[in-house]
Structure formats: structure tokens, C-alpha cells
């Protein structure tokens, strides 16, 4: 089925600012709360939030097989369960409804009043109920940088890394949407040169610049997903700030991996950009040498050219650009990650989320964490107010943005932005 | 509020076989499917499954604040959310209803017909929707044994182990109830002495003898649970077989911990035995030396004396007893685990599950995995049919049982039993 929603020549009757992340070619999916405290599934064009539940009630999705309340829900899980054909039909239909040449909704003021909101008037929610969250570690540059600092500079990359899209399980209960502040975590750390740990606020809170993909029901338990089919089960992508406490991580992570250093918060951008919308931005991945085992080999382009940026803004201070990276730098692709994840029969459900791992490029200005940007605190970064940062201070707001751009269209993610607060005080 | 359900002198009008795990003093909670394909929440006395949904419809819970459909659900999550006071009221009421001196239900045949089933006539389900699954690593003996084999015999225990209840996130989507068979996983392994990995069926499939506890909503994000309060948030316990593929684990687990070696299956016993029912079996834990940091220090007895056994039965062969262990051997308690898990503000929800880690004792016949029992395959175990096992063969059924016993009462878990099948063949 053609993805007519991607037609770059189409214009909407809704006004879209220049360089908007959300032209009519994007049509992402999210969940929002209206001023009237109604939760609904929606999409976004320009600076308008569009209530898909209302559109469905007004019969705009006639002819597409959907349960009656498909878009009147507080998560996208059921819609994602319906599979790629339905996602495509719905996106194509939304593009038609908002096409400048289609008068149906354009000229119906009473319908427009209940369907279209200013983006400032809605409150974005977590778009999915995340059953399981996996985080990969798929940037060779990041894994090498961390290996140099935490382990052995001469053997930074462990032998398994080039054979396995290394990943681990994260915590679903603390995944939050952009805008929700995060408290500096408390925890155990081992001061340098000491043998006895101490308890207190983490002193090394960091961001990790990542993307994540959201899956549909992929398999039954026991069954694997062949690599040729993997992309069929990927609904779309979000930006992910995988908050990390480096001092807690260093002390706790052997032998079972990071735990409390990560599970205090992971922030995501609220609009899921579909893999269909990203189709024009497919590109090649870094060459994989040695060649991966047969089940991980694939033909064609499975990376996506997504520009990524991170800024930090102290309170009442303009943001400072810290890093410019790109999703295409990742060594392992999303299809390789999903194939590997299921090769042992691990079940993947609708709404599961899989993080890319920190996305670092090869130059120091493209590193995806403070750990790497300041090289463990050795090279502090100066903010616009003259203060220095080795890691993140209380009151700092970390913002990540991401977009794809070619001559014809720009498809963006908006942002994931969250402020770091001092440790939580129990009442 | 007194736990009158625990009165050891009480007898039920339902017949309970001698040495049953489920006397009227147990009253565990589970979810089952009746012959009529109705899913309901239930309890068990002797070899009878009791439909709590039917009991509620017949007004047997009058006076206890419960939503109308509390027990007519396919998971216990909502009931668990109601908190310890409600759990206790309901257990006390069930004990009253089935007390031999209470004629109300005993003498009402039409009620009995819709409430009570033979245990063979119902199909046990997963009792909870597990949002997040964490697995700890809290047996000093197990951690030492694994450290000796996988790392350094002279420094088997890593320095953080005596300070931190080490744990990591597991996969919720592949947690299954007793009785569901498990396929041998496929995966990458590194043959001894080689530098290139190979792909194929795991050759070293193992069990891990564990228990797990189920939590209620414990905190908001950012908030920690003080150790004095931790047990308030523990609903109950199950037996857990944390299936493991040792060859996959060895190759993949650095630096982020076990992943595909574990997430192909974790089997649990279907009846959740409440912490209240286990109250008479509180006992002391091993002395913790060095003393843990203040937030992990606790007074009183927080271990439980639970006898555990593991058998393996090849197809059509009687089971061989492999291990006799006890939950009380664990170095870190459940309250220490939950307190540590939330000390950084990690949110814990109703239905989250936390595994103990493999429960090994100090003698070789009390080890909780084949890895330890056969010492990495060096000392095979002979089955009743004369065949030898270094790890688990296709067709073998692994069964774990657990019970508490004193002079007055026996409170048991039943079993978690599952068969290992050959690798899954995709149709």
C-alpha cells in the first residue's frame, strides 16, 4: 500500500510555520489531555493538536476497520496492535482530511471546534503503556568512550560488542513524558580511593542522548523475528533522555549491569513519529566489520538520517548547545536490535520500548553524554552565564531535539525537555 | 488488626489432606479459568479452588470496602492496590466462611455449587499483570559460587556485594505460570578457546531456584520507602524458576548484565502466599558483616523459614531430588531489597515482581542451580533411569516446591513445574 501521507507536495489548510517539525507529511501519534480534562489520542500539524477520538466520532475514519473507541483511549497500545496496514491507512486518511483541497473538515466550523486545539492548550501524556523497556548500547563511539574511562583505554571495546547488539532491561515505571521534572537521585557511591561506600545525593547526574522505537505485538513466546521482517513490527520512534547517575553506576554495575543509576527516570518526547514518516530519510549504516552472524545480516539501508541536538539551560539562562549528533552513526540498526532481542524466543508486545543507547559521533562535539563531552569532568563546559558544568546541576533544563531534513520536507520529533530538581524531600 | 486467619486451631468444613500446602490457615490468592471458561480470582483450601468472584456476588464480603467487580477480574493488581488492611480483612473473612463451625456457606448447596471447584477442574493463570520485574542476587553462597566459576576463585565476591542488595531488571513479557513448557533458546555463544562466536541452541540450559515477592503501589516517583515501612508494601510471595542459558550468559553479560540468557522464560507458582500467612515463620537472617549503610539497617526478624526443593524428571521417569535449600539462607532480606530499589526514587507499582536471586545454601546439596550442583558440568548428576545430567535435557521437567512447617501448621506454595522442549520451530 503506498504511503500517500508522505507526498511532499501536499499542503494543509492548517497553517504550518516554516521549519516546523510537524508538517502534514509527519502525522505523528500521541496522547493528550484537553483543557476540559478529556484524554484522547491525537496527532499534530504545525502548532495544532488534533483530537483523533473526536474525528472518529464524527465518522472521518469510515471505511477503515477500527474498534469504536480506538482513539478514545489513554494509550496507543491497541492502535499499535492493529499493525502496519492500519497505521498506514489512518495516516493516509489524516493527510487527506487536512489536505488544502479537501473541504470536508476545512469548511465545517462546528467540527473544527471540537477537533482542533492550539498545542499550548493541551497537556501531552505518556503515549503508551510500556510493558517492557530495553536499552541497547549500539554506538561504537559511545561504547568505546565509556570503555576507555570505566575500564581499559587499550581494550575499550569488549570482544562481544562487534558481534552482539548489546542491550539490557530497563525500568518501565519511571518512563515519563517531556516536561516532567526529575529529582536528583540518592544512592550509594564509592569515593575515589576509598573502600567503604557512602550514601548521599548523586554528584554526577548525566543525560544520555538516545532515540527509542516502539513495537507492536511481534511474536509468540519461543518464536523469533527474522531480520527481513523486523521493521514490520516497529511502529515509530521518539527521542529519549536516559538519565544516568555516573557515580552510582560505577559502584553498582558489576556484575549485573546498571540498575539504580538508571531507573530513577527516563524521559521521552511525547509524539511518536512513525517509521513510515521517516521512510524518505533512510540511509546506510557504518560498515560492520567483522560481518555479523547470519541471523543479523541484512541488505539495503536500515539507518535513518536524524539530526540530534542537546542543550542545557541553567535557570533563567539561555540554553547552551552541547552536542550535535545523528542517529545514522549507530553501528547496530533497529532491525538488528529487534531480531537479536527475539532470537531466543523473547516475546515482544505492543507498546514495548527499545532505546538505541547513547548516540555519540566520532568528534568530541557530537558526544551524547556529559561523561563523554567533559571526558569524565576533566574538560568542563561553560554556560552562557559563565558557570561551568562537568555534569548536570540542580535547576538545569536538558533539552534534546531531533529532525530529518531533505530538499522537500522536514520531519521532526519536537523535543524532550526536563529540569533536574534537588533530591526529593519526603513529607 | 489481628490476623485471625492465621489461627492454627481453626479447621475447615472442606476436607484438607494431611500435609497439604493449603490448610485453611494459608488462603493464598490466584487467578483461574473454570471449565466454563470464566476467569476469576480465587483462593485454595486443600484440593479445592474457591471462586472469590462468585463469593463476592453472593454477598459474602459484605462490610468490606471493595469495588463491585474486585474479584471478577483476570489479575490481582486492583486488589493488591487496595493495601494491606483490605488483604487482611478479606483473608480473615475467607477463614470465617470456611470455618467448620460456620454453617452459612457450608450448608448452602446451591452456593457451594457455584463457588467451589476441584483443583483439577480449573486452569491456573498468571495471577498478576507484572509491570516491572527485578531480579536480585542476594544469596552470598550463590554469588560466591558463580564468582569462583565465572571470574576469580580468589576474589569470588565483588567488593560492592556486601554493601548493596545487587539486582537488575528482568523481562516481564516472558513470565509464565507453572505448567507452561519452555523452549530451549537459540543464541550466540563463544566456544571455549575460540574468538568467533557461533549461533545455535543453548547447550547449557539451567534452572535457578528462587522465590519472588509481589508489591503493591509503594511510592510516587522520587520518593523512597524507609526500611521500617517496606514490608507494608509486600503482598506475598511465589516460587520462581528463573530459567537461564549459561553459555549465552557467559558471552553476552559484560558490561550490561544478563539479557537473552534470562529473558526467554521465568516460571512462577500460581498461588501468591501472603506475607501475613508467612508471619509464624519469621526467622533471623545471616549476620551482616560489614554492617550495611544506615538506610539498609533493620531490627528484628525479616527472613522467613521456607523449605525449598528442586527435582528433575526425564520423560516417563520418576523425579530425582537435586537440591534442598531454604529461603532463610538469603543474606539480604526482602525489605532491604525493596528499600534499596526505591532509595533513588524508583517507582514501584502494584503487581511488580522482585526475585530473590538463586537460593543456595552452604552445602553442595543445597545449591540452587545445575551450574553450582554439577560445578559447571564437572560433577554430573545421575537420574533414576541412569542417564546423567550436567545441565537440563530436552524433555526434562523441573519442579520446585516450597513450604513452611512448625508444630502447629504447614503453609506451602504448591509447585512451579515446567518442561523443557526442543528449540521452537517457526511455521
Which cell is B136 given?
536480585
Q: Which residues 241-280 of chain B have a CB within 8 Å of chain A?
A: 245, 248, 251-260, 263-265
Same domain, B290 and B393: yes
Residue among B143, B170, B215, B167 nearest B344 (CA)? B167
Q: How confident is the model at residue A118 (pLDDT cuts 50, 70, 90)?
A: very high
Residue among B101, B117, B96 nearest B46 (CA)? B117
pLDDT 10s digits, B198-222: 999 999 999 999 999 999 999 999 9
Same domain, A219 and A363: yes
Q: Which residues 85-124 of chain B have a CB within 8 Å of chain A?
A: none
Residue A33 sits in a domain whose CATH number is: 2.30.30.230
Please tell me the predicted confidence (pLDDT) of residue A306: 98
Q: Which domain holds residue B233?
A: 133-421
Q: Out of A37, A111, A142, A183, pick the active-site residue.
A: A142
Query: What is the distance of C-alpha B113 from the center of its chain?
Result: 31
pLDDT 10s digits, A261-272: 999 999 999 999
Please tell me the predicted confidence (pLDDT) of residue B427: 74
Does residue B187 belong to the interface with chain A, where contact is any CB pair within 8 Å?
A: yes
B277: pLDDT strictly greater than 80: yes
Please tell me the predicted confidence (pLDDT) of residue B151: 85
Q: Which residues 288-347 of chain A have a CB within 8 Å of chain B?
A: 290, 293-295, 340-341, 343-347
pLDDT 10s digits, A265-308: 999 999 999 999 999 999 999 999 999 999 999 999 999 999 99
Over range B246-268, report the average pLDDT.
Answer: 97
Q: How confident is the model at residue A364 (pLDDT cuts 50, 70, 90)?
A: very high
Is the separation of the CB atoms in A42 and A32 below 8 Å? yes
Same domain, B98 and B231: no
CB contact under 8 A, A263 and B295: no
Mean pLDDT, all residues of chain A:
97
CB contact under 8 A, B294 and A348: no
Is the separation of the CB atoms in B272 and B284 below 8 Å? no
Q: Which residues from chain B sit within 8 angstroms of residue A164, using beta carbons?
A: 188, 197, 251-252
pLDDT 10s digits, B91-100: 999 999 999 9
Is the separation of the CB atoms in B187 and B245 below 8 Å? yes
Question: Which of the listed residues B64, B90, B124 is the one where a domain comes to its end?
Answer: B124
Q: Which residues from chain A sit within 8 angstroms of residue B253, using beta carbons?
A: 255, 257
- Residue B309 CB: number of other CB atoms within 10 A? 18
Does residue B168 belong to the interface with chain A, where contact is any CB pair within 8 Å?
A: yes
Q: How confident is the model at residue A171 (pLDDT cuts 50, 70, 90)?
A: very high
Residue B347 Cα distances to A158, A172, A173, B339, B365, angstroms = 33, 9, 6, 11, 38
Over range A18-40, report the average pLDDT.
Answer: 97
Same domain, B216 and B104: no
B163 is catalytic: no
CB contact under 8 A, A346 and B174: yes
Over range A130-154, report the average pLDDT.
Answer: 95
Question: Which of the listed residues A124, A152, A187 is the one where a domain comes to its end?
Answer: A124
Is B48 annotated among the ligand-binding residues? no
CA atoms of A27 and A45, how far apart (whole Å): 7
Same domain, A249 and A110: no
Please tell me the predicted confidence (pLDDT) of residue A142: 97
Same domain, B90 and B142: no
A376: pLDDT strictly greater than 90: yes
Which cell is B303 given?
527472613
Does residue A199 belong to the interface with chain B, where contact is any CB pair within 8 Å?
A: yes
pLDDT 10s digits, A172-201: 999 999 999 999 999 999 999 999 999 999
Least confident range of A161-170, B36-45, B143-152: B143-152
Does residue A155 belong to the interface with chain B, where contact is any CB pair within 8 Å?
A: no
Over range A51-62, report the average pLDDT.
Answer: 98
Is B137 annotated among the ligand-binding residues? yes
CB contact under 8 A, B344 and A188: no
Query: Which candidate from B159, B164, B186 shows the least CB-CB separation from A224?
Result: B186
Q: Which residues 337-356 of chain B have a CB within 8 Å of chain A?
A: 340-341, 343-349, 352
Is the separation of the CB atoms in A167 and A135 below 8 Å? yes
CB contact under 8 A, A221 and B174: yes
Residue B131 Cα distances to A78, A130, B175, B235, B412, angstroms = 17, 8, 11, 15, 26
Does residue B164 belong to the interface with chain A, where contact is any CB pair within 8 Å?
A: yes
Query: Which candidate from A168, A265, A341 shows the least CB-CB separation from B257?
Result: A168
Same domain, A115 and A138: no
Q: Which residues from chain B sit within 8 angstroms of residue A171, using beta carbons?
A: 132, 169, 346
Is B141 annotated among the ligand-binding residues? no
Does residue B208 belong to the interface with chain A, where contact is any CB pair within 8 Å?
A: no
Distance from the Cα of A220 to chain B's closest Cα (Å) equals 10
Does residue B170 belong to the interface with chain A, where contact is any CB pair within 8 Å?
A: yes
Is the separation of the CB atoms in A127 and A57 below 8 Å? no
Which cell is B165 given?
542488595
Please tell me the predicted confidence (pLDDT) of residue A427: 74
- Residue A86 CB: number of other CB atoms within 10 A? 17
Percent of chain A with pLDDT over 70: 100
Please tell me the predicted confidence (pLDDT) of residue B426: 79
CA atoms of B124 and A321, how far apart (whole Å): 56
Same domain, B110 and B146: no
Asked whether residue A426 is assigned to any structural domain, the reply reads: no
Please tell me the predicted confidence (pLDDT) of residue B139: 97
pLDDT 10s digits, A200-233: 999 999 999 999 999 999 999 999 999 999 999 9
Please tell me the predicted confidence (pLDDT) of residue A5: 98
Burial class (CB in 10 A: 0-12, 13-18, 19+), B194: exposed
pTM of the model: 0.98
Does residue B179 belong to the interface with chain A, where contact is any CB pair within 8 Å?
A: no
Residue A81's SS3 state is: helix
Query: Which candidate from B163, B173, B221 shows the least CB-CB separation from A132?
Result: B173
Asked whether residue B120 is assigned to any structural domain, the reply reads: yes
CB contact under 8 A, B293 and A199: yes
Q: Out of B142, B302, B340, B341, pick the active-site residue.
A: B142
Query: Which candidate from A137, A265, A424 shows the least CB-CB separation from B256?
Result: A137
Asked whether residue B391 is assigned to any structural domain, the reply reads: yes
Asked whether residue A427 is assigned to any structural domain, the reply reads: no
Query: Which candidate from B150, B188, B222 shows the least CB-CB separation from A163?
Result: B188
Same domain, B26 and B155: no
Burial B329-362 (b: 16+ CB within 10 A, else e): bbbbbbbbbbbbbbbbbbbbbbbbbbbbbbbbbe
Q: Which residues from chain B sit within 8 angstroms of residue A147, using beta carbons?
A: 255
Same domain, B104 and B170: no
Higher pLDDT, A73 or A150: A73
Percent of chain A with pLDDT over 90: 98
CA atoms of A247 and A189, how far apart (whole Å): 6
Residues facing residue A399 across a β-bridge: A311, A417
Please tell me the predicted confidence (pLDDT) of residue B394: 98
pLDDT 10s digits, A335-357: 999 999 999 999 999 999 999 99
Query: Which candidate from A172, A187, A196 shows the least CB-CB separation from B344?
Result: A187
Same domain, A283 and A347: yes
Does residue A126 belong to the interface with chain B, where contact is any CB pair within 8 Å?
A: no
Question: Which of the listed residues B89, B124, B159 is the one where a domain comes to its end?
Answer: B124
Is A229 annotated among the ligand-binding residues? no
Asked whether residue B427 is assigned to any structural domain, the reply reads: no
Over range A92-107, report the average pLDDT.
Answer: 98
Q: Which residues 388-427 of chain A have a CB within 8 Å of chain B?
A: 424, 426
Please tell me the predicted confidence (pLDDT) of residue A426: 79
What is the β-pairing status of strands A182-183 and A410-421?
parallel
- Which residues fall within 8 angstroms of residue A292, CB to CB, at 6 or more apart? A162, A163, A336
Is A210 annotated among the ligand-binding residues? yes
CB contact under 8 A, A173 and B245: no
Query: What is the distance of C-alpha A196 from the center of its chain?
Result: 38
DSSP code at position A326: E
Distance from the Cα of B148 to chain A's closest Cα (Å) equals 13
Over range B312-340, report the average pLDDT.
Answer: 98
DSSP code at position B17: -
Query: Which candidate from A132, A151, A221 shows the least CB-CB separation from B172?
Result: A132
Same domain, B378 and B405: yes
Number of domains observed in the structure of chain A = 2
Residue A179 sits in a domain whose CATH number is: 3.90.850.10
Amino acid at each position: 500500500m503506498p504511503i500517500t501521507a508522505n507526498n511532499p507536495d501536499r499542503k494543509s489548510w492548517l497553517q504550518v510555520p516554516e521549519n516546523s517539525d510537524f508538517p502534514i507529511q509527519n502525522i505523528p501519534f500521541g496522547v493528550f489531555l484537553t483543557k476540559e480534562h478529556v484524554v484522547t489520542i491525537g496527532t499534530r500539524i504545525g502548532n495544532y493538536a488534533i483530537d483523533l477520538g473526536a474525528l472518529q466520532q464524527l465518522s472521518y475514519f469510515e471505511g477503515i476497520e477500527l474498534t469504536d473507541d480506538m482513539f478514545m483511549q489513554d494509550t496507543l497500545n491497541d492502535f499499535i496492535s492493529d499493525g502496519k496496514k492500519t497505521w498506514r491507512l489512518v495516516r493516509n486518511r489524516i493527510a487527506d482530511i487536512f489536505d488544502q483541497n479537501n473541504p470536508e473538515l476545512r469548511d465545517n466550523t462546528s467540527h473544527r471546534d471540537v477537533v482542533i486545539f492550539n498545542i499550548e492548550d493541551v497537556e501531552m501524556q505518556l503515549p503508551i503503556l510500556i510493558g517492557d523497556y530495553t536499552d541497547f548500547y549500539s554506538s561504537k563511539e559511545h561504547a568505546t568512550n565509556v570503555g576507555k574511562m570505566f575500564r581499559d583505554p587499550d581494550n575499550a571495546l569488549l570482544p562481544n560488542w562487534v558481534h552482539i547488539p548489546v542491550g539490557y532491561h530497563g525500568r518501565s515505571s519511571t518512563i515519563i513524558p517531556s516536561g516532567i521534572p526529575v529529582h536528583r537521585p540518592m544512592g550509594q557511591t564509592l569515593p575515589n580511593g576509598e573502600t567503604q561506600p557512602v550514601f548521599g545525593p548523586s554528584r554526577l547526574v548525566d543525560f544520555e542522548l538516545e532515540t527509542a522505537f516502539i513495537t507492536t505485538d511481534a511474536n509468540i513466546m519461543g518464536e523469533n523475528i527474522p531480520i527481513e521482517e523486523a521493521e514490520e513490527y516497529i511502529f515509530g520512534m521518539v527521542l529519549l533522555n536516559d538519565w544516568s547517575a555516573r557515580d552510582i553506576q560505577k559502584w553498582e554495575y558489576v556484575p549485573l549491569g546498571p540498575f539504580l543509576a538508571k531507573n530513577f527516570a527516563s524521559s521521552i518526547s511525547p509524539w511518536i513519529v512513525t517509521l513510515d514518516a521517516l521512510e524518505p530519510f533512510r540511509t546506510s549504516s557504518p560498515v560492520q566489520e567483522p560481518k555479523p552472524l547470519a541471523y543479523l545480516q541484512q541488505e539495503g539501508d536500515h539507518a535513518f538520517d536524524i539530526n540530534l541536538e542537546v542543550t542545557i539551560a541553567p535557570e533563567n539562562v539561555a540554553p547552551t548547545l552541547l552536542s550535535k549528533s545523528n542517529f545514522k552513526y549507530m553501528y547496530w540498526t533497529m532491525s538488528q536490535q529487534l531480531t537479536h532481542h527475539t532470537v531466543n524466543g523473547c516475546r515482544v508486545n505492543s507498546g514495548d520500548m527499545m532505546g538505541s543507547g547513547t548516540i555519540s559521533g566520532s568528534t568530541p562535539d557530537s558526544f551524547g553524554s556529559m561523561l563523554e563531552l567533559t571526558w569524565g569532568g576533566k574538560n568542563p563546559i561553560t554556560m552562557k552565564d559563565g558557570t561551568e558544568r562537568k555534569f548536570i546541576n540542580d535547576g538545569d533544563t536538558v533539552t534534546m531535539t531531533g529532525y530529518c531534513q531533505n530538499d522537500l520536507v522536514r520531519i521532526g520529533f519536537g523535543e524532550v525537555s526536563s529540569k533536574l530538581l534537588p533530591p526529593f524531600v519526603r513529607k
